[in-house]
Every structure is written in C-alpha cells, then in structure tokens.
Chains A and B, each alone.
Chain A
Amino acid sequence: MNAIETTNLTKYYDSLCAVDHLTLSVNNEIFALLGPNGSGKTTSVLMLTTLLNPNEGSAMVCGHDITREGEEVRKKLSYVPQDMAVDIKLTGRENVRFFADLYGVPHAGDRVDEVLAVMELNDRADDLIRTYSGGMRRRLELAQALVHEPSVLFLDEPTIGLDVAARKKIWEHIQALRKKGMTIFVTTHYMDEADQFCDRVGIISKGRIAALGTPVELKARLMKDVITARIEGTFIPPAVDGVSFVGQSGDEVSFTAENGREALPLLADALGKSGCSVRALSLREPTLDDVFLQAVGQQEEPHGFEDGKFRIMLRRRK
C-alpha cells in the first residue's frame, strides 16, 4: 500500500481547471511537486489533506479515501501550510502543547519536549514566538506537525522567505524524517532545492504532471550533458562509449554525453591518445531549471510571439 495514491484527481474553480486528472503514487520518499505559481500545487495538497473536495477522481492516503474517510486520513497526516501560522503571543512550548492536546497525544508533556529537542528549539521553548526568527518559526511548525507522529507530512513551500542557512536546516530535518520512514510531500518552486534534497519530483503545469521521476532521471531523459574541449594539434574524433561528437569550430570541439561527469576523464584520455593535447575542458550539466523550462515551456509555445502587440506596446512607451 502506497502512502499517497491519486487517480484522476481533478478540481475545477468555476471553469478553470486547477488540477487536471492527476494520477500519482508516493511512498516513503521526499516527493516534490514542482511548478510555477498557480499551477495547481496548493490545490493538490488541499485536496489530499481533506481541506477541499475534488470534482472528479479519487485519492487514498494511507489506504483511506480522502472524501469518505476524512477523519481517518487526518489522523495519519500533518499539514504545514505556506503562511506561517503560529501564535506569537504564546511560547514555543505552548504552541506545540496546543497541537498535542488537539491530537490527544498520550504523555503530551514529554512528547512536546521531545519534538522541541528534535527541532533544536528546547533552549528557546519558553520564549514568546514574537522573538523567534523566520527559520525558528518554521521549525516550530514542523514540531507541531510531528507531535502526533504522522505517517505522511504535507509541506506547502516549506522554505519560502527563509535565508540560505535556515533553508538548509529545514531540509536536513526533512531528510532525517524521511530516514525514519515518513512519507513527505512537498510543494516548491525552488528547483535547486528539489534537485538537491528530494527523491522524486513531479513537474506540474496548468494542473497536469509534465514530467515525473528522480531529478537525475529527469535531467538525463530530457537533455544530455554538453562537453566542450579546447585542443591543439590534429583532431581525430575519438570513440568513447556514451559520448557523441557534435562539431568543431576553430580549436573548440563539442560533444554530448549521457553522463558528462563520468565521460569527462575518459574523453580526456582518448583525446590524449589520439595525438592532440587538451588545453581546457568544460562541462555544462543540465539543471532542473532546464528540465522545468523544457517541460513547462512546451505548453506555452502555441501562444507564440505576437509581433503586432509588441509594436503597439513599444509605441505606447514613447
């Protein structure tokens, strides 16, 4: 049984289709739903956390149907929304205790101490939230979410508005939770974070999954690495597995490779053996940004560039 299983999950806001027949399986991994603003990320999370009813399709969380067994679903999950909602007039401990009481956690006092310690907040636990930084507030929300030991954790833009150090810390905590066997469903529009920290990524655009897989797979599938070499001497295209020669311009030759990093030393050796000397080698790996733009960009092509509108716009500027 997968932790999250959706079948043709669909949501309309009037005539706008926010989520369009979403079919996904997520289990014991950090899964990121990646997409631009308004692509249907939050709507998907709201449906999975039983805050919104789908118009079509169904979804199961830990084997329970989200529309028919809402309460069972809510017992299994925790949800941290995008806007940081913690009571600033209460202390960290009071904020977490409040959630422990709502969940009816046994030995609430001990459990609250435990999660505060996990989130490295125990030395500030009795200070008012007013004095907490953004990163601490986010960690406090994670502590609230963890207090009842959920099986699935939904995080909507967990690192939005945080500085680099705070972001890294949040992700370290998320990865530690994943190691303990929790399923984590994240939405984000930070490509680098999804690439670095998530096990699997679904790129969503206009309510549809445009690409799905591990970051490595996605990058390999959509685009090959590009290797450029500057050489001296006569050039004979070498034969290296997984590398294909693209072209030569002056003293620069370029290749594409399935896996650039591994191909780089092989290529350098082969070039050396063929009798030319290599002056410089450069490798550009495709990033998740490239994958994202390719996946999302394809859908936007039909609009094209409207020459007439552009001219009118220029005229108005004068």
Chain B
Amino acid sequence: MRGIITYMKRDFLKWTRGKVAVISALVMPAAWLVFVGLALPVKFTGNYLDFITPGILVMTMLSAGLSGGALLMFDKILGFLNKFLALPTPRGSILVGKILFITGRGLVQTTIILVIALLIGATLLSPVQYALTYLVLFLFGVLISAFATTIALYLDDHDSYSAFNTMISLPLFFTSSALMPYGVMPAWLATIAHFNPLSFAIDSVRDVTAGGFPTLPILVLLVLTSVVLAVCVQVFRRVTV
C-alpha cells in the first residue's frame, strides 16, 4: 500500500510540474463542450449540453487514459523501471500505482470539465448522482488505463504507441453514444455503438443523470475491467522478470 501511494505521489508531482500538459489536456474536451454542446442545432432534446456532457466526461477520461498508457513504457525505456524492480517494494505496486494515477488524473480533469459544463448551463445533480457518476468514471478509467498500459508495454516503442493512440481515440469516440442517442443514429452505427465500451460508460452516466441506477452497464464495465486488468498484469509480469 505504501508503495502504491509513493509511486502515485511521484507521478502527481511530475504532472503538476508540467503546466502546459495540465492545461492542454483540458482544451479539447472543453472545446467540444462549448463549440459542439452549445452550438449544434439538434431536435431530439431540449438541452443538448445535458445530453453531451456525459459523453465529454467519458471522452476526457478516454484521452487521459490513452495518454497515460505511455507512462509505464517510458519508465521502462528510461531505466526507471529497472531501478524500481530492484527495490524490496512489492513489484505489483508499480503497476497498480500507475493505473490509479492515470485514473486519478483523469478524474481531476473530468471534475474541471464538469465545473465548466455547470458554468455554461448544464443541470446541477444531487450528491448521490455525482457519486455514482464518479464511480462509473473511475471504473472506466481503470479499464482504459489498464488497456493503454498493456498495449504500450506490448508495443514497447513510443512512436508505435502514439500512432496507435491517434488511430483509436477518435473512431472510439465517434462510434459511441456520446454525440447522439441510438434512435437518431443510422442502423449500422447503432449496432457498432452498442458494442463500444465507451457507450457502456456514457449510457451509465446518462442513466444516473436521469435518476436511474445503471446496474447492467456497471456490471459489464466491472467484468471488462477485470479481464483487461488480468491481461495487463500478465503483460507486466512478462516484461519484468
């Protein structure tokens, strides 16, 4: 436990020292929120901002997770990982600390996006609804950061990883239920969207904001997260011994 917290503390300190990275990570989701959320003329809902906010929150988490995937790979390439592996601290805490840091950083970013959404006119929710939203975002964050870390460790090369990152982030976002409900989508897109893991997270948050409790999507997210985590642990073990 001590190890996990110490590894997270290191990453948070490093993150806050890079001012440009902190701000630039927020620009894209904020731009979506303002320029699309406020401007797009849609007919299926009266408050498009309320509709798109869950999508943008999940998208923020997605890009935070994907960009964080490279962190452990960099620790490996730059020689930090070898130093950490030679410590008596349990080796698993390196991986857990990294995944929790990426998820935690994503949660900080989504909080800022949430505040911006409220400032420009999104509906205020109850504390329970926010707690559930954070639970969904946390699960999704662990899923994405474990997935991204696995891919990055597997590719073991920064250029390949950033190419992979660019390749999947926008298609994943556009084929989810972030921008429109399934009813408005063309049939082929709706089919894809139903299988997109982003949709599970987005639909869960929407369900929460509508006052429901999304049992099934949360269960699906839980199962997905456990599977990806298990694969991630395997890949980590393989590169470390």
Name A's B-contacting residues (CB within 8 A): 46, 49-53, 71, 74-75, 77-85, 87, 89-90, 94, 98-99, 101-104, 128, 144, 154
Q: Which residues of A contact B7 (CB under 8 A)?
A: 102
- Once the chains bind, are B18 and A89 in contact (CB under 8 Å)? yes
Closest to A86 in B: B80
Name B's A-contacting residues (CB within 8 A): 2-3, 6-7, 9-10, 13-14, 17-18, 78-80, 82-89, 240-241
- Once the chains bind, are A84 and B79 in contact (CB under 8 Å)? yes
- The docked-state distance in angstroms from the alpha carbon of A94 to that of B6 is 11
Q: Which of B3, B13, B83 has the most CB of A within 10 A?
A: B83
A144 to chain B, nearest CB (A): 8
A84 to chain B, nearest CB (A): 7
Given A83-B79, A85-B80, CB of A77 within 8 Å of CB of B86? yes
- Once the chains bind, are B86 and A74 in contact (CB under 8 Å)? yes
- Once the chains bind, are A89 and B14 in contact (CB under 8 Å)? yes
B233 to chain A, nearest CB (A): 17
- The docked-state distance in angstroms from the alpha carbon of A49 to that of B84 is 11
Closest to A74 in B: B88
B16 to chain A, nearest CB (A): 9
- Once the chains bind, are A104 and B2 in contact (CB under 8 Å)? yes
- Once the chains bind, are B83 and A103 in contact (CB under 8 Å)? no
23 A-B Cβ contacts within 8 A? A51-B82, A51-B86, A51-B240, A51-B241, A53-B241, A74-B88, A75-B88, A77-B86, A79-B83, A80-B83, A81-B79, A81-B83, A83-B78, A85-B78, A89-B17, A90-B13, A90-B17, A98-B9, A99-B87, A102-B3, A102-B7, A104-B2, A154-B86
4 nearest A-B residue pairs (beta carbon): A83-B79, A85-B79, A79-B86, A89-B17
- Once the chains bind, are B86 and A71 in contact (CB under 8 Å)? no
- Once the chains bind, are B6 and A102 in contact (CB under 8 Å)? yes
Q: Which residues of B contact A102 (CB under 8 A)?
A: 2-3, 6-7, 84, 87, 89
Q: Which residues of A contact B84 (CB under 8 A)?
A: 102
Q: Which residues of A contact B17 (CB under 8 A)?
A: 89-90, 128
B3 to chain A, nearest CB (A): 6
- Once the chains bind, are B88 and A94 in contact (CB under 8 Å)? no
Q: Which residues of B contact A85 (CB under 8 A)?
A: 78-80, 82-83
Given A53-B241, A71-B88, A103-B88, CB of A87 within 8 Å of CB of B82? no
- The docked-state distance in angstroms from the alpha carbon of A83 to that of B198 is 39
Given A71-B88, A103-B87, CB of A90 within 8 Å of CB of B14? yes
- Once the chains bind, are B86 and A50 in contact (CB under 8 Å)? yes
- Once the chains bind, are A103 and B18 in contact (CB under 8 Å)? no
Closest to A50 in B: B86
A183 to chain B, nearest CB (A): 16
- Once the chains bind, are B86 and A87 in contact (CB under 8 Å)? no
Given A85-B79, A89-B18, A90-B13, CB of A49 within 8 Å of CB of B3? no
Closest to A76 in B: B88
Q: Which of B6, B14, B18, B241 has the most CB of A within 10 A?
A: B6
